Amino acid sequence: MDTFEYISATPRVLFGSGTLEQLPSMLQTFKTKTVLILCTPQQVSTAETVQKIITDAGVAESAIFSKAAMHTPTHITDRAVLFAQENKVDGIVSVGGGSTVGLGKAISIRTGLPHLCIPTTYAGSEMTPILGETENGRKTTRRDPKILPTAVLYDVDLFATLPVGLTVFSGINAIAHAVEALYASNTNPVIQLFACEGIRVLCEALPALLQSSEASQQDLLPQKAAREKALYGAWLCGICLGSVDMALHHKLCHTLGGLFNLPHAETHVVLLPHAVAYNASAPAAAGAMAKLASVLPDAEGDAVRGINALYRRLRTSQLSLGGLRMPETGIDEACDAALGSNRYKNPRELERDGVRELIRRAWAGEQARRDL
């Protein structure tokens, strides 16, 4: 076995069904008097539910800031920090997906306030010390242990009304974290175990949730079991994302998201098969590709084949960057930005022709092929 280093740095996690009711006791450990509750405009009702639980328990005052946005624009963070100062808050609760969690991280790293996350998607940002922020169309990413949230409360019941499309997209987003962790420059056997288990259970749960999206009431119990499995898998994949370096796939997602304001999860979905295809021929990724193929249904020993088969089962194979409203004229701009400074470590050298063709195929919505 090769020499490796494993560093564990994760927040306190409470996982289960109905765990939202334990929020007051978790907040008491923060010793906060006034809490800032963060959400997007679409999740105000969920934030208000959280606010009522806090208020009824009498553990803290609270104020809601509902302007969280994709890619964590710095001007939104500026407004939120000012709002927090005006309300004299001494703790943060973020309720939602990656956009809301990202805003909570941005406020926390600026102010030093403790940050509790209540995820409602499978994005996994709550388990990472990584913050991506956008300013003037450019998204920059940094890693700092201080960015890591203080605690995470997973309540499976909050996922009951998550639309099936978003369920699938954010679930594949989670899979992408684990895929790149398998061939990360600083991967290790522990993270590889997490990655394989996370991918395996998500590959079981996501098709089940898709198939049961029009189920009758008597099928609600199997749906809940599948949601539990999906959330467990996403949690493991989030740990992977927070523990090792990412590679080409995440570099492209951050670059394109910042340049063209593309939806984060869908961008992950479109790019993942092509990033896997790009790295499939790299000798440094051979072991990782074999592990990936072993946990993908219908892979038959080929990770690219397995990803394509999964996408057909999840009915996502026709998505494209063009369909997400990225202009065709942006292909070269995206390639230049991805190959610029601050390159991510990748098992295969980043070659302009190959990276440009990867982006072009993703823009056109072509099926991933190993000939990149």
Print burial letters for 85-100: b (CB count within 10 Å at least 16), e (below 16).
eebebbbbbbbbbbbb
**Measuring CA to CA, how many Å separate 141 from each of 35, 119, 134, 358?**
27, 21, 9, 22
Question: Does position 306 have pLDDT exceeding 60, yes or no?
Answer: yes
- Give residue-wise pLDDT tens across range 133-156: 999 888 888 989 999 999 999 999
Q: Identify the domain boundary among 131, 159, 187.
A: 159
Non-local (6+) Cβ contacts of 14 within 8 A are: 22, 26, 151, 152, 153, 154
Q: What CA–CA distance (Å, rounded) separates 321 from 266?
A: 9
Tell whether 7 is covered by a domain: no
Give 208-227 pLDDT, tens digit per residue: 999 876 655 445 556 889 99
Looking at the structure, tell me whether residues 205 and 323 fall in a common domain. yes
Q: Are residues 58 and 131 in the same domain?
A: yes
Does the pLDDT value for residue 172 go beyond 50? Answer: yes
User: In terms of domains, do 195 and 104 share one?
Assistant: no
- Indicate which CATH number applies to the domain containing 201: 1.20.1090.10
Whether residue 132 is contained in a domain is answered as yes
Q: What pairing do the DSSP bridges indicate for beta strands 151-155 and 138-143?
A: unpaired
Question: Are 155 and 172 in a shared domain?
Answer: no
Residue type, 234: A
Produce one character per residue of 72-84: b if its CB has 16 or more CB atoms within 10 Å, e if not.
Answer: bbeebbeebbebb
Report the share of the chain in percent with pLDDT over 90: 84
Average pLDDT for 97-104: 96
Q: State residue 217's pLDDT score.
A: 47
Same domain assignment for residues 216 and 177: yes
Backbone φ and ψ for 68, nearest 5 degrees, come out as: -55, 140
33-45 pLDDT, tens digit each: 999 999 999 999 9
Calculate helix-pair angle for 352-364, 330-338, nearest 10 degrees: 140
Which of 162, 253, 145, 249 has its CA nearest to residue 205?
162
- Measured at the CA of 198, the angle between CA 200 and CA 244, to 5 degrees, comes to 135
What tokens appear for 233 in the block?
A: 């898998």
Rounded to an integer, the average pLDDT of 104-126 is 96
What are 294's two structure tokens? 């072993």
**Quick one: 139 and 200 in the same domain?**
no
Q: Give the burial class of 158: count Cβ atoms within 10 A of its Cβ; 0-12 exposed, 13-18 middle, 19 or more buried.
A: buried
Task: Tell me the HSE value of 249 on the side-chain side, using a 13 A CA sphere.
Answer: 34
> In the prediction, which pLDDT does 5 show?
75
Tens-digit pLDDT profile for residues 174-202:
999 999 999 999 999 999 999 999 999 99
Per-residue pLDDT, averaged over 48-63, amounts to 95
One domain, residues 143 and 278: no
Which residues does 25 contact at the CB level (< 8 Å), separation at least 6?
A: none
Q: How many domains would you assign to the chain?
A: 2
- For residues 79 and 68, give the distance between their C-alpha atoms in angstroms, rounded to a whole number: 10
Please give the residue range of the domain that contains residue 298.
164-364
Chain center to CA of 117: 13
What letter would DSSP give residue 3? -
Write down which residue in 143, 159, 175 finishes a domain: 159
In this structure, the answer to whether residues 269 and 146 fall within a common structural domain is no
Average pLDDT over residues 93-110: 97
Question: Are residues 262 and 139 part of one domain?
Answer: no
Last residue of a domain, one of 134, 159, 184: 159
Quick one: 32 and 66 in the same domain?
yes
In a domain, residue 258? The reply is yes
